[in-house]
A and B are shown apart, each in its own frame.
Chain A
Amino acid sequence: MDAVVTPSLAPLITALRAAGYTVVGPTVKDGAVRMAEIESAAELPAGVGDAQEPGAYRLTERDDEMIFGYAASPDSAKRWTQPPRLTLVRARGEEFEEVEPEAPRVALLGLRACDLAAIAVQDRVFLGRHPDGAYRRRREALFLAAVNCAVPGGTCFCASMGTGPKATAGYDLAITELASPHRFLIEPGGDRGAAVLAAVPHGPATDCDHAAALEVSRTAAAHMGRSVDVSGVQQWLPAAHDHPRWADVASRCLSCTNCTMICPTCFCTTMEDITDLSGDVAERSERWDSCFTLDFTELGGAPVRGTALARYRQWLTHKFATWYDQFGVSGCVGCGRCVTWCPTGIDVTEELTCIR
């Protein structure tokens, strides 16, 4: 199926809901663009933009009705691919039963190319050497309606990481929002996307529409808020473990874990065990964890990485270098979330540039 043009996303949302998906899209909530369940196109953030800088995020008003006129939302797809908390095991007496985690049919509307790249990274983590069946079920139940980024934020650097701003793979639908007249060019990424699109009233995309869409991605690529040279990073970063910059960044890092919680690829988890009041039933749950916490590496009562220096070095080195050793790909997709949401504005692109 070829690309199509439609003047509104309302029929697409209707079609996705008719196909049995809960539609999760961008909404304005808590002073930010948050991904939440929506029932109609009226809930989308028309005319909302954002300003993102190291340690700063605020919504702005746009002077148009563009729906996707903001950069990366604090919510990535991780919340749905790897939920923050999952109950895995229920133990009664001598029996341990597996709790089948739910795999809800959710259509994620408005993911960016960086988010699709992050999902591809997660696929390598969870479907690699020890495939996780529950992850696979959740992943297969997700419908990915991506949006080609029009306005990268002040902390974005996907162009440096080769992951955006145009979505090239891993989507069911890729939408490009076009102005004057306001319309959406939609490309299906496979049969599933095409089937949904067939239920949406549309016209064919003209050469002019295609050219306009290409211009959106070209302009976005030229307006990245940040850039970083990561050539050879797999070699030089692990070798730089004695670099004085680590102490400098550690003096600014609060070990607050924000960067890891907001990161679309950080996958670390811990286990929590609870019992009911009677003690008859015990549950094991998995929840997001962070390599910035002191007990993350605890061994015999003491942490292996007891200093903020060692923890920051571990995170940055893993993200940009040793991730390749483990999963054959960079752990960073250049979404800039860790830069925006760091309370002290630590900028990974700046740190890498200084350490190089």
Chain B
Amino acid sequence: MTPAPYRVRSRRPDRADTVTLALEPLRGPSPAFLPGQFDMLYARGIGEIPISMSGRGRTGAHVHTIRAVGAVSDALCRARPGDVVGLRGPFGTSWDVPAAAGRDVVVAAGGLGLAPLRTVVRELAAHRRRYGRISVIAGTRTPMTLLYPRELTRWRLAHDIDVHVTVDHPDQDWPGPVGPVTRLIDRIVFEPRRTTAFVCGPEAMMCAVADDLVRRGVPPARVVLSLERNMKCAVGRCGHCQLGPLLLCLDGPVLDYRRVAGLLSVREL
């Protein structure tokens, strides 16, 4: 339960309230992790929160994209290169990207959900020829809150990935679609029975996307979500992250829709 000290190797502001930090251990190598896993990040004297990895640095650094929404995330967002934060991890289940080989892939993100999914898209792009059609659909509040805009363009241009972005609140320059992520499903091409979908975002968004994909014929077991809950321990002992029979820190956060559709349909479970 003791965090290890990690130094902030780099800090990149993504948007007004969001930064991406690359963290390296003060001693020893960075532990390996898989797409979808999370770390517990500790701001000294303030608290600890779960954050999924959004990338892997060249030296194996754990990269996290953090939005300042509370005391701990606010402190982490203010950390500067050279500062030391605490880290425990990696924890939890992961997206099995290689298992999607030979299939069409739909990556659906809502808001900050694009952060953990970036590790999925990077892995898909690194082995592009193993997969069929790859589509990334992402929703964001406003054009200004869109994460990784340059990287989205690079995925489209350099890796033959079909990328679509929709916003809730357009500004006068926004040329693209407006509305929920589900609207983008009509814009992409995939063969449902041969498709694997990786989905992350607010719970309502994930359920809407998953329901839509399943209705179109994607097997529920091939629609894989990352669920979020309050977490304090990350090792199944604090009780905070329960979703019915599941302890999301151990059984999740990444779970297929076949397993969780019934649980997510119960209000306030």
Q: What residues of chain A have their CB less than 8 Å away from a CB belonging to chain B?
A: 88-89, 91, 93-98, 125-126, 128-130, 132, 238, 241, 267-271, 273-275, 279, 282, 284, 286, 289, 291, 296-301, 304-307, 309-310, 314, 317-318, 322, 325-326
Residues of B72-86 contacting chain A, CB below 8 A = 84, 86
Q: Whole-angstrom distance from the CB of A24 to the nearest CB of chain B?
A: 24
B58 to chain A, nearest CB (A): 23
Min CB gap A239→B, angstroms: 10
A183→B242 CA distance, assembly (Å): 48
Extra A-B contacts (11), CB below 8 Å, given A270-B232, A271-B47: A94-B26, A96-B4, A129-B235, A130-B235, A274-B45, A297-B229, A297-B240, A299-B229, A318-B242, A325-B246, A326-B236
Complex interface: chain B residues within 8 A of A98 (CB)? 1-2
Which of B1, B26, B42, B267 neighbours the largest number of chain A CB atoms within 10 Å of its CB?
Answer: B1
Taking the closest CB of chain A, its distance from the CB of B110, in whole angstroms, is 13
Given A95-B5, A126-B237, also A314-B242 (CB < 8 A) = yes
| Chain A residue with the shortest CB-CB distance to B3 | A96
20 contacting pairs across A/B (C-beta < 8 A): A89-B2, A91-B86, A94-B26, A98-B2, A130-B235, A130-B236, A132-B237, A267-B237, A269-B232, A271-B48, A273-B47, A284-B48, A289-B238, A289-B240, A300-B69, A304-B229, A305-B268, A314-B269, A326-B236, A326-B245
Kindly list chain A residues whose C-beta atoms are within 8 Å of the C-beta of B99: none
Q: Is B230 located at the chain interface by the 8 A CB criterion?
A: yes
Which listed residue, A238, A282, A310, touches B244 by the CB 8 Å rule? A238
Q: Is B185 an interface residue (CB 8 A)?
A: no
From A88, A96, A267, contact of B239 by CB (8 A): A267
Verify if B228 is at the interface (C-beta below 8 Å from A).
Answer: yes
The answer on a CB contact under 8 Å between A89 and B268 is: no
Contact between B245 and A275, CB atoms less than 8 A apart: no
CA distance A91 to B1 in the complex (A): 13
Give Cα A93 to B237, complex, Å: 28
Shortest C-beta distance, B31 to chain A (Å), equals: 16
CA distance A301 to B69 in the complex (A): 8
Q: With a CB–CB cut-off of 8 A, which chain A residues contact B230?
A: 296-299, 304
Q: Is B250 on the interface with A (CB-CB < 8 A)? A: yes
Q: Which residues of A contact B268 (CB under 8 A)?
A: 304-307, 309-310
Is B266 part of the binding interface, using a Cβ–Cβ cutoff of 8 Å?
yes
For chain B, residues 35 to 83, give those with C-beta under 8 angstroms from any C-beta of chain A: 42, 44-48, 69-70
Residues in A whose Cβ lies below 8 Å from that of B1: 88-89, 98, 284, 286
User: Does B101 sit within 8 A of A, measured CB to CB?
Assistant: no
> If A88-B1, A96-B4, A289-B239 touch, does A238 touch B245 (CB 8 Å cutoff)?
yes
Shortest CB–CB separation between residue B165 and chain A, in angstroms?
Answer: 22
**Nearest A residue to B40, CB-CB:** A271
Q: Decide if B34 is an interface residue (CB 8 Å cutoff).
A: no
Q: Contact: B86 with A96, CB < 8 Å?
A: yes
Q: Is B247 an interface residue (CB 8 A)?
A: yes
Q: Are B45 and A326 in contact (CB under 8 A)?
A: no
Minimum distance in angstroms from A216 CB to a CB of chain B:
37
Task: Give the CA-CA distance A23 to B86 in the complex, in Å.
Answer: 40
